[in-house]
Structure 1
Amino acid sequence: MFHFKKEPAPHTDDLLAPVGGQVLSLSTVSDPVFAQKMMGDGLAIKPNEGDSVVVAPISGEVTVAQGHAFGIRRDDGLEVLVHIGVDTVNLQGAPFTIHTKQGKTVRAGAKMVTVDWAQITAAKLDPTVMVLITNTKTNLAQLKVNYQQIASGAVVGQATAK
């Protein structure tokens, strides 16, 4: 009788852009919590007007689903938080329609949130979208980011777990 060792499913280190727009360094974000990487390393995207759908940057289990922010844990333990806009939590969910829930498994590129950018700009808030590796210190080995204009769902970089 033969016994075959089951290999773990391969995972990708690719990070997809949750929205289309200009990829920026976190250090340029107006909120010091993000700019100083207090919530982890990552990237920011100044979204294109009209790009109202925010997609999952990675595949994994949804750990947070709050409208203005959602988190996903990859199979290798890397945790990614997408935060839509600066201080948008103060809008109490108004500009966001969430299409997922905590505990759900999603694939990279899945529709997560629809955003009404007009409500964010009318409130005079910064619409920049942050992609943060919240367990940077314990789980991130390397982060590579392509700082350029990018389409939603395109590969924006790679995050390699330890």
Structure 2
Amino acid sequence: MFSQAMVGYGAAVDPPHEVIDAVAPVSGRLLKLMPHAYIVMTSENVGVLVHLGLDTVALKGVGFCAHVAEGDTVIAGQTVITYDVPAVVAAGLNPVVPVVVMDEREPGNVVVGDSVAENAVIASGSALFTATK
């Protein structure tokens, strides 16, 4: 689903294999909050999905702790969910974190950041991509 951009285009991050804080990639309102994923809707009505691991819905919330509620306003960089990456790996699942612009169907409208393009270590708060939509 993510690799074929069925949800939208963006970038994927292989997180450190430790307990980490997953943060809001943009400022806006939490349109949807699940234990393993969330969507932030910007003031420009652009939805950005953060999905913590692949197939992690099967964990039914184990390994995730939300710090905000659906409908809350968040600012970029604010902790949304604490993500227990080792628990996901121990369950045999892939911990990679896709971050995508929802419903973006034109790959040229999403330009990956330099660190992503170079396959480099990405510091928290770094730009993953720029959406030109």
TM-score, normalization: structure 2? 0.89
Deviation at 1:133?
1.1
Is 1:158 the counterpart of 2:130? The answer is yes
Distance 1:137 1:53 in 2: 29
Deviation at 1:156?
2.1
Superposed counterparts of 1:9-158, under 5 Å = 33-50=1-18, 52-137=20-105, 142-146=109-113, 147=116, 148-158=120-130
Q: Residues 119, 70 of structure 1: CA spacing in aligned structure 2 closer, same or farther, 3 A cutoff?
A: same
Look up the SS of the partner of 1:150 in the other structure. coil
* Larger displacement relative to structure 2 (149-158 or 89-98): 149-158
Distance 2:105 2:2 in 1: 15
Distance 2:36 2:42 in 1: 20
Gaps of 5+ in 2: none
Contact 2:17 2:86 in 1 (8 A): no
Larger Rg: 1
Superimposed CA distance per residue, residues 6-60 of structure 1 (whole angstroms, 9 cap, x where no aligned partner): xxxxxxxxxxxxxxxxxxxxxxxxxxx1100111111100111235111110000
Deviation at 1:152?
1.4
TM-score, normalization: structure 1? 0.74
How many residues matched? 128
Divergent runs of 4+, >4 A: none
Deviation at 1:154?
1.7
